[in-house]
Structures are given as C-alpha cells and as structure tokens.
Structure 1
C-alpha cells in the first residue's frame, strides 16, 4: 500500500468514526435531558442503529459488489447524512427526532462495511496493515469526546451541537470519498442473480461450522453490548462523574493501544483465545460498573471504561479480519456487511429491545438502581462466554499457514481458526 493511499484511508477512518462518536456516545443523555425521553425511548433511538445494520448487507451486496464503486457510494451516503444530522439537531421532541435518526442510521450503517471494504482492497496483508489504519477511527472517538467534555455541552444542555459537529464532518468525508482509491465492483460478468443483489452469497460462509459459531456468538454477545452503548453516558452522569464524555474517551485510548497490538496477539493467541478474552473482559466491565461509584470506587468506573479496548478489539476487529480472510476476493464487501448485520444489527436490536425496559424497571426517584442494571448484562456475557468456550473448536495448526490466506471454498478449514 502506498503512503498516499495510507494517508487517505487513515483520514477516511478518522472522519467515519468522528461522525459517529460526535453524537452517539451522548445520545442517551441528550434524549433524557433535552427531549425528556424515557429509557424505552432511548433504546428505540439506539435501535435505529440495528435497523440500519440489518439493511446494510443488502445495500452493500447491491452497490459495492456488483454495480457501483464503493468509494463513490460512500461519498453520496455521507453527503445525504450530513443534511439529516443537521435536521436532527433541530428536533424539539422525541417524535420529531426518531424518524430523522432512523433514516440517517439506515444510510450510515452501510458505510461501516464500505470503509472496511475500501481499506481491505488496498492491502496485501490486512492482518498487519488494517489495525494501523483502523486505529485512526478510535483516535477520532477520543477527539470527539474531548471536545464535548472541554466545551461542557453535557452540563449546559447543549448536546444538540454534537449533531451539527457531526454534520460538518460528514460533509468533509463525503467530499473526501470521491478522492479515495478506486474500489470498483469485482463482479462484472454473467447474469445478475437475486443473491448478488441482496448480498446473500456471503451466507455461504456459514457453511463453515467454526464461522457459524463465531457468527452466532457475535449476535449473542452484542445483546449485553447494547447496555453499554445505550446507557453508559447517562449512568456516568447520574453517578456524578464530571465531563463524562471526556472521561469515556479512556475507552478509546485503550482501544487504540490494543488495536496496534492485534498483529502480535494474532500470532501468539489465535482467534479463539482472542475472542474469548474479549468476552471475558465484557463480564468484568459490567461488574466494575455495578460496584463502581464516583467516590471510593471511582477506580472501578475507570477500569470498566479502560477494559473497552480488550472488549472491542479482541472481538470486533478480530472478527472483521477473520471474516475478510474467510471471504476471499469474490464477496469481501458482502461478507463485511453480513458481520455488521450480526453484530450491530441483530444482536444490538435484541439488546436495545431488552435494555430499555430493564433500565426503566430499575428507575428510582433520583435516577436508577444501576447496580442491578449492570449485573444483568454481566450475567448474559458470562453465559455467552461459557457456551463459546464449550462449542467453538480451535482447529489452528500453529505455523502452517499465514493469517492472511483466504479460503477458496467456504467449507475449508480457515488457517485463522
């Protein structure tokens, strides 16, 4: 990969996640304070992410793998998204906010797979090259959170500005996208099948038993993840933490560190151990939140945030690279869309439907009984971890194949497993 392409891809990844982190982290607090939304309504707003992720594979299968260049459709989606984010900032109640953010997330979620697809197509060894590019996205979340904390938007009820900031970044990425390395569709010959249009050919990956178990684990582990995304900022603010959004960027600092170390862990641990360690970290994180507070146990809140690096990198980034290796050249984009469906789609959808009513059930006169709330996702994550360790078979023969060797058929044993 040339240095010019590396810079462009890094800028793309930075803006992609700056847009998301600029408003998504504080969404629950914005809805609760500015729009007087309930826990169930907050979960419904976050559920739009899942709807977008479920639709994403169909969009990716249509536009990026068959008909249009990925970087061009990425630009169009972000330019339209900028207008929607600005409109969302003008909302005065939940009823007017919800349909706007729903349409926006339907357009935004496919871009997560598109930026991965554009990146992987320029790399000879994604296992080594991708983390250095993807880490810019993590840095972007840190920058967004620090801006929000530095300007005290949480304390002054000015979180509507976060949507305007995201809209400006979306315009920049929309324009930048048209200058990115060309990522034309790979499938040009032959009859157009309905499976190509819907991105269904990536489903063939599920014929691999190990990948099927990974896919199901991805769905299940994202149920407790919804609690973290939907309510952590509200929880920290209710706990009395000052500049919570800025402190939350410790999660991204940890994420950036571990992301750079992924190539090393890949070689030493293999996929199964990395995924298992990631899930164990989720159990520990929620326990820390359950027993932490802004006084004597403040360190537990910090530790819960710092564990995010292990939680995210060891599961999500590992899973993205694993999926790319398994897919091969023919349907990389559709495969990335499918794993987005499993995680941010189905898993987070179920999690959002479950988490909102649970948080409402533990509402108190002064906020919420957060100890009881956080022990529930901790228990769910523990069960998923146990089942994964029992059922996932590690067939890796150390040193027999490089980590970037793709499969030619979906039922072959992937060297990553």
Structure 2
C-alpha cells in the first residue's frame, strides 16, 4: 500500500530454458495449432497496438517507443528486439472486457416479441507479450469482475480460457512507475509462460520459463536448450537494472491515507483547470471497468438490441440522478477518479487500482501526470496547510 518501495519480483524462477528468435515463430505456430487466437503487439497506424497475429513476423521487431506525458512516438531500435517497448495505447482489457458487447436482441413478428440472449462463445485467447504491469492489471480485474458478489459471466468465460505469456521489462519508458505501485519489471504470479528478451553481443535469445501445466506443455514443443548460468544471470541483472530506471515515481507515502486526507486540497482546482474531462485516462487504464447500457432499434421498430459499453466517471451523465449529476464539476470528477484509483479501491478490492503502467499520462491530451499530482498533494500535507486527518472509527 506504500508507494515508492521496491517492487515485488516474482518468486525465484526455475532455471528455465533458452530459445532463439526462431523459437518465437514456433511458439506462435504452436499456439495457433492448439486452437488459440494469438493476440500480441504489432505496428499499426503509428503505434504499437495489440491485434491478432497470424505469424511471429507481425511482431514489432526493431521498434521501440518514446513516451512522455501527452506524447507517444515510435522509434527504431538498433537491436531488432521484438518486445523492446513500453505499454501501448491498448491493454488486454480490450479483449477480456471489451468496449462493446451485445447482450440481447429482440424481434417482433406477427404480434409476438422474441428475445434472444447473445450467447456467442468467445475465442480462446493466447496473449503474447503481457507486461508485468498488465499481468497485475488482469489480476485486479479478476478480483473486480469474478471475485465479488457481482460477477461478470462474460468476463469469466473469456478469462478462463486465456493463456498469458508474460515478457519482462528490461527498458522501462519515461512514464513507467510500476515499482512505486508494488510491482516491478519482473513478472509476478499468474503467467503460463514468462520470457525475458536479450538482444546483445551474445545474440538474440529468450530466457523462458513455464508457470502452469499448460505452459510447460507448450514449452516442451519449442526449440529450446537448458538455460545456462550466464544467460540467467544476464536476464536477471537486466530486469533488476530496469527497476532502478523507472521514468516516474509516486511519493513515499501511504496513498490511501494521502487521498483521504487531501479531499479539500487546492491542487484539485489546479488540475481541474487543465483537465478536459475527456475520459481518455479511463479508456486506456487497464483496470477501469465501468460500463453503461444502450438500447438501439431499427427504423421499423421491429428489431432492437441492448449493448453494454465502456463508461467513464469523467462523463457528466455518469453520476446523473434525479435533479442533476452528483459530480457536476471537473474538480469533483477528476478527484473521484484519482482518489478511487489510488485510495478507496483498497476498501473495495483490497489493493490499489493503479499498476504504474503510465498510460493515463501518455494518452492525456494535456499531459496530466498522476505521479505529479500525487506529489503535489503530498507536499501540501507536509507544508502544514492540510488539516489533521480524522481518526477512522
């Protein structure tokens, strides 16, 4: 719960195996042969996006990214790495918790109304290239959408069949702060396979380990050799070094207490003067889960459908009640988002809702930086201007 502390690397991994670049091509082929729809990073429209892969040739070999608050640019890499980039505009939420889902349709014929629930079976996904921050984000969404009283059957079905292939980070972006959120560039629990990519003077290779029985079965079909001590040591050192090169950090504070104790801080007025309330941060966030429903009909009125759509707490209608919205100002809406993400999420789900991926600041049109806002609130509490926090009952 305390930000600014060292992340929790994965439990000591098994010795694992080493495979060359050609092994990634075999991995994709094996997954497709096993009936998976393989989703991974690829270059499209000036960004590294997540899309269905037909072969490993579609991976973004040799491409990296330059990140800053409000800025995203592709850049060419000299080493030909396939996963040498930080988190892009999409997360795996787009596939496990899609932006648009039809829930049912209704048709009227001969005076009868027939309702048909949408029972389309989802594909069985294999996610290739899941970053450790996104691995944690999936675990957060699991708790929200499958671990409580209000379960999402569609999410459960999509998630239960998904295979997760994590790739550890050795080059964090300028907006990354996963270590501050208790994670780290090392893959934590929950993966079926984990890989660390090395592209240096000793060649382009991957240190790969299994994390589940199915992962081990797939690993057995790949062209690998037992991992040598040098490769393991290099991979571990690169990941540990990445933990010390985070582009951003959260303040050294209990973020839950910080959010609860700064509700009346003048900084909320400052950020409200910059925020466009566009909701981009909630759309790209890998853990935001709010939805609304929309009913549509055709021109005849004989066919209707109900769709579930992503919603955002930045929308004015999100808190609409009889008489008007509960949160009518940009100040109240931004404060709701940030205090929920970093604070009251603990009360609901037992963890923070932020995994430190940095997407919210990269894709903010005006470059609002959540770590900068948290630091400003922390400075305010230390300045003596903040009232003493109330003791919880």
What's the TM-score once normalised by structure 2's chain length?
A: 0.23
Whichever structure has more strand as a proportion of its residues is 2
What's the TM-score once normalised by structure 1's chain length?
A: 0.22
Whichever structure has more helix as a proportion of its residues is 1
Higher relative contact order (CA 8 A, sep 6+): 1
Larger Rg over CA atoms: 2
